[in-house]
Amino acid sequence: MNKTELVNSVREKANLSLKNFEEALKAVLSTITQTLAKGDKIQLLGFGAFETKERGARKGRNPQNGAEIKISAKRVVVFKPSNALKSRVK
């Protein structure tokens, strides 16, 4: 499902206009992005949690020629699904 399909599906279920829902979705995604950029965690009960974690520097290999490369440390976004979501997906 892409963003357009998601917008249309949720919009129909919530009985909202396309313009209103697109603005609301942009606001939600913007808030999530800003919160994660600050290093804070977002917890949605019954769904899961988004947070950032530090990934340390490590060595890797170039798959084309096998040469060793250095992969720098970075902060990554992780999602941990709730038990309720896990059980519904099973």
Query: Do 34 and 46 fall within a single domain?
Result: no
* pTM of the predicted protein model: 0.76
Query: Do 32 and 52 fall within a single domain?
Result: no
**Domain that residue 57 falls in:** 41-90
**What is residue 79's predicted lDDT score, i.e. its pLDDT?**
97
CB contact set of 6 (below 8 Å; sequence gap of 6+): none
Query: Do 49 and 16 fall within a single domain?
Result: no
pLDDT band at 16 (very low <50, low <70, confident <90, very high): confident
**What is residue 89's predicted lDDT score, i.e. its pLDDT?**
93
- Average pLDDT of span 28-45: 95
Query: Do 55 and 35 fall within a single domain?
Result: no
DSSP 4-54: HHHHHHHHHHHT--HHHHHHHHHHHHHHHHHHHHTT--EEETTTEEEEEEE
Residue 62, pLDDT > 90, answer yes
Query: Do 3 and 34 fall within a single domain?
Result: yes
Q: How far apart are CA 29 and CA 10, in angstroms?
A: 15
Q: How many domains does the chain have?
A: 2
Residue 46, pLDDT > 90, answer yes
